[in-house]
Protein backbone atom coordinates (compact mmCIF):
# COMPACT_ATOMS: atom_id res chain seq x y z
CA UNK A 1 0.00 0.00 0.00
CA UNK A 2 1.23 3.46 -0.83
CA UNK A 3 0.80 6.30 1.59
CA UNK A 4 -0.66 9.63 0.66
CA UNK A 5 1.08 12.58 2.35
CA UNK A 6 -1.00 15.43 1.02
CA UNK A 7 -1.18 18.10 3.68
CA UNK A 8 -3.66 20.89 3.30
CA UNK A 9 -2.07 24.35 3.38
CA UNK A 10 -3.23 27.24 5.46
CA UNK A 11 -4.52 30.67 4.46
CA UNK A 12 -3.81 32.18 7.88
CA UNK A 13 -0.81 34.26 6.74
CA UNK A 14 -2.69 35.55 3.72
CA UNK A 15 -5.48 36.79 5.99
CA UNK A 16 -2.91 38.49 8.25
CA UNK A 17 -1.37 40.11 5.17
CA UNK A 18 -4.79 41.50 4.24
CA UNK A 19 -5.28 42.93 7.72
CA UNK A 20 -1.80 44.48 7.69
CA UNK A 21 -2.54 46.02 4.28
CA UNK A 22 -5.75 47.60 5.56
CA UNK A 23 -3.97 48.90 8.66
CA UNK A 24 -1.11 50.35 6.63
CA UNK A 25 -3.45 52.06 4.16
CA UNK A 26 -5.67 53.52 6.88
CA UNK A 27 -2.80 54.76 9.05
CA UNK A 28 -0.85 56.06 6.04
CA UNK A 29 -3.81 58.07 4.83
CA UNK A 30 -4.33 59.59 8.27
CA UNK A 31 -0.62 60.22 8.80
CA UNK A 32 0.48 61.63 5.46
CA UNK A 33 -2.79 62.79 3.87
CA UNK A 34 -5.14 63.90 6.67
CA UNK A 35 -8.58 65.26 5.91
CA UNK A 36 -9.47 68.92 6.25
CA UNK A 37 -11.36 68.24 9.48
CA UNK A 38 -8.27 66.65 11.06
CA UNK A 39 -6.07 69.53 9.89
CA UNK A 40 -8.44 72.05 11.47
CA UNK A 41 -8.59 70.09 14.72
CA UNK A 42 -4.84 69.30 14.86
CA UNK A 43 -3.03 71.98 12.80
CA UNK A 44 0.49 71.10 13.99
CA UNK A 45 2.02 68.58 11.51
CA UNK A 46 4.39 67.35 14.24
CA UNK A 47 1.54 66.37 16.57
CA UNK A 48 1.72 62.94 18.18
CA UNK A 49 -1.30 61.81 16.16
CA UNK A 50 0.45 62.20 12.80
CA UNK A 51 3.77 60.72 13.93
CA UNK A 52 2.03 57.70 15.46
CA UNK A 53 0.04 57.03 12.29
CA UNK A 54 3.13 57.31 10.07
CA UNK A 55 4.96 54.81 12.26
CA UNK A 56 1.96 52.50 12.34
CA UNK A 57 1.76 52.61 8.54
CA UNK A 58 5.42 51.60 8.28
CA UNK A 59 4.96 48.75 10.74
CA UNK A 60 1.84 47.62 8.89
CA UNK A 61 3.85 47.54 5.66
CA UNK A 62 6.57 45.45 7.30
CA UNK A 63 3.92 43.09 8.69
CA UNK A 64 2.41 42.83 5.21
CA UNK A 65 5.74 41.83 3.66
CA UNK A 66 6.53 39.29 6.39
CA UNK A 67 3.05 37.77 6.18
CA UNK A 68 3.27 37.43 2.41
CA UNK A 69 6.66 35.73 2.68
CA UNK A 70 5.34 33.32 5.31
CA UNK A 71 2.29 32.63 3.18
CA UNK A 72 4.52 31.80 0.24
CA UNK A 73 6.65 29.46 2.37
CA UNK A 74 3.83 27.63 4.16
CA UNK A 75 1.23 27.58 1.41
Confidence at residue 1, expressed as pLDDT on a 0 to 100 scale: 63
Q: Is residue 68 assigned to a domain?
A: yes
CA 62 to chain centroid, in Å, comes to 7
The domain total for the chain is 1
d(CA 14, CA 56): 20
Residue 5 lies in a domain: no
Residue 9 lies in a domain: no
6 lies in some domain: no
Confidence (pTM): 0.81
pLDDT tens digits, the chain, 75 residues: what are they?
A: 677 777 777 899 999 999 999 999 999 999 999 999 988 988 888 888 899 999 999 999 999 999 999 999 887
The answer to whether 75 touches 9, Cβ cutoff 8 Å, is yes
Q: Quote the pLDDT of residue 4.
A: 73
Residue 34 lies in a domain: yes
The verdict on residue 27 lying in a domain is yes
What does the alpha-carbon distance between residue 30 and residue 17 come to, in Å, rounded to a whole number? 20
- Nearest CA to 48 out of 56, 37, 40 is that of 56
Look at residue 8 and tell me if it is in a domain. Answer: no
Domain range holding 69? 17-73
Amino acid sequence: MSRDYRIKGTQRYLMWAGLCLLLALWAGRDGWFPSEAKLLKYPDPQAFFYIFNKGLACLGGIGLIVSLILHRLYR
